Amino acid sequence: MDRPRIIGDTMIVPSDQEYLADIDAFLEATLRGFGVDESIIADIAISVSELVNNAMLHGNKSAADKSVTIKLLRENSSVKITISDQGAGFDPDSIEDPLAEENLMKEIGRGIFIVRSLMDSVDIEAATTGTTVTIAKAF
């Protein structure tokens, strides 16, 4: 695919970080439509940006023929978002502790930690056909 597509509350995007701002605009507009508070929108936007970056760079390895799907769902007073890639998957247990002294000054490796800190729940399903991360946040 060469351009992002929006279908309802779902956005499908090529693995190109040029589209990060488009994803953020779609995300924030949809969350406002759900009635989510602005302070919570920022936490969700930070989390989704982390997961989309991971999906594009580490999952799809920026392959032009692979896409990332962002799907939003409102469930009563909470929002559930899934971010899926088409990569080869990874072992979530292999993520190092970014707070460990030897990792504190590393430039990378904090994304999932930050998402876990900001969201109410984070579920990672990694398979050889792709990784799907589901986050949820009450508002």
- Out of 9, 15, 50, 60, point to the residue binding other proteins (CB under 8 A): 50
- Residue 27: name the closest of 57, 51, 60 by CA: 51
18 binds other proteins (CB under 8 A): yes
Binding-residue pattern over the window 96 to 115 for other proteins, x denoting contact by CB under 8 A: --xx----xxxxxxxx-xx-
Q: For the purposes of burial, counting CB atoms within 10 Å of the CB of 71, is it exposed (0-12), middle (13-18) or buried (19 or more)? A: middle
Binding-residue pattern over the window 23 to 42 for other proteins, x denoting contact by CB under 8 A: -x-----------------x
- Closest CB 46 distance from other proteins, rounded Å: 5
45 binds other proteins (CB under 8 A): yes
117 binds other proteins (CB under 8 A): yes
Length of the chain: 139
Which parts of this chain interact with other proteins (CB under 8 A)? 17-18, 20-21, 24, 42, 45-46, 49-50, 53, 98-99, 104-111, 113-114, 117
